[in-house]
Structure 1
Amino acid sequence: MMTSMPPIWKGADYDNGGIFGKRILIVGESTYAEEGVDISQYNILMAQDHIDGYRDSYRTKLLRVFLNREENNDDIKKFWQSVAFFNYITTPLQKARLAPSEHNWQKDVQPLSEILADICPRLIVVVGYRMWDRWSNNSPCSKEEGPVINGAGRENTLYLSWGKGKALSYGLRHPNGRGFSWKNEHPYLMKAIRIA
């Protein structure tokens, strides 16, 4: 069972693959908050607030890159009920677009192997190239090269292994990053989903 880190979001339909037919885990890098703000439920609220009507650029673009269309309230609910989500860095940063420190990367992280063993994803979508570059070089799990997705911003994929499980991981351009277009990114993400 997982340690006492912030709980992850796991949609009600995740175990059966939801709308994608596969267990998909989305891993963000970090969040930011003013000092003293409680973010212990952030991973849960990231999804639940969106289902409940909160809208922001990040969540909107993230959803659209998966669905390849503008979404309605039913789409939002089905999407979040189909996936699992957490931010890898557990300590909030002071402001948006601030990079985690080396200390954050070494000490303030979710117990990845435990999470993967607990929820057994088939595909791990790593959000943001900075996060992907860290992930692909420093993942605590065993890894091997996966298939190349030609044309994607990060063409290389990785298979991560833990205990008795294995999942494909894919690096997605950050939805709020410069040059992001959900229409352009969608075909590469769909290829990763098909391969997984």
Structure 2
Amino acid sequence: MMSSNIFFQPFVGKDYANGGIFGKRIMILGESHYCDEGCCDCGNLWNSVVFFNYLQVAMGGPREAGTSAQYRQAGDALFDVMDKYQPEYVIAWGKRLWSNMPGERWREGEDIVVDGYHVATGAYFLSNGRQVKVMAVNHPSVGYPWDYWNRVIQDLLLL
């Protein structure tokens, strides 16, 4: 049963539970919803992950940020979803989201270094004590060098 903290339910790929094409349970964490956009079926990738938008209110459009209170409230929903789906990894989309994620149940991790650039990592602890490794990538809407981030994500999956 989902918590009352969650207004927008996550998308759960049909192969998520067994790790899908990655062999690992991975959550993709977007920042917010836009009510005028639809959903697409992008095949094996989306069937292999849980996708969940952090903010539990709809934004008016792209690049709009939530309020401090909305980011704080969304932390409870994030923990509820992680506790239910037990991801091993979370890949957060965007630096603004990363800087507004909850500090509770958090432990800083070692940076991943690819091509001389440092990418912060850390871990959340679920209510059952399991650890979820977390990192942020640039938001895909702002120019996304796929080859670079693919190498960073591969390094994350080795942690």
TM band (smaller chain): 0.7 to 0.9
| Contact preservation (8 Å) 2:26, 2:89 | yes
| Matched residue, 1:168 | 133
2-structure distance, mates of 1:11, 1:33: 21
Please state how far the C-alpha of 1:31 moved relative to its aligned partner: 2.1
* Corresponding position: 1:190 with 2:151: no
The equivalent of 1:91 in structure 2 is: 57
Alignment of 1:128-147 (within 5 A): 128-135=94-101, 138-140=102-104, 142-147=105-110
Equivalent position SS for 1:150: strand
Q: Which range moves more in the overlay, 182-191 or 107-116?
A: 107-116
- CA shift, 1:109, in A, is 5.7
Which structure dedicates a bigger proportion of its chain to helix? 1
| Counterparts in 2 of 1:150 and 1:182: CA distance versus 1, 3 Å | same
Amino acid at match of 1:11: G
Unmatched segments (≥5 aa) in structure 2: none
Q: Which has the higher contact order (CA 8 A, sep 6+)?
A: 1
Quote the Cα distance in structure 1 between the aligned partners of 2:34 and 2:75: 15
Counterpart of 1:25, as a letter, is M
1:28 alignment counterpart: 30
Structure 1 residue identity aligned to 2:45: F
Structure 2 partner of 1:122? 88
Q: 1:110 to 1:93 in 2, by over 3 A?
A: farther
Q: Distance in 2 between matches of 1:15 and 1:108?
A: 24
Identity %: 27
How many Å separate the matches in 2 of 1:99 and 1:124?
21
Q: CA deviation at 1:191?
A: 0.9
TM superposition shift of 1:106 = 2.7
With structure 1 as the length reference, what TM-score do the two structures score?
0.71
Alpha-carbon distance between aligned partners in 2 of 1:108 and 1:20, rounded to the nearest angstrom: 27
CA distance in 1, matches of 2:112, 2:69: 32
- Compute the RMSD of aligned alpha carbons: 2.1
Residues 74-129 of structure 1, C-alpha deviations (whole Å, 9 max, x = no match): xx311111000110101111121112122321335661222111100000001101
Deviating beyond 3 angstroms after TM superposition, the runs of 4 or more aligned structure 1 residues are 107-110, 151-154
- Superposed CA deviations along residues 148-191 of structure 1, whole A, max 9, x for unmatched, are 201386622111101222110011110112x4211222111111
Counterpart of 2:19 in structure 1 is 17
User: Which digits, 9 at most, give the CA deviation of each residue in 1:37-75, with x for residues without a partner?
Assistant: xxxxx8xx6xxx321xxxxxxxxxxxxxxxxxxxxxxxx
- SS of the equivalent of 1:107 reads helix
Larger proportion of strand:
2
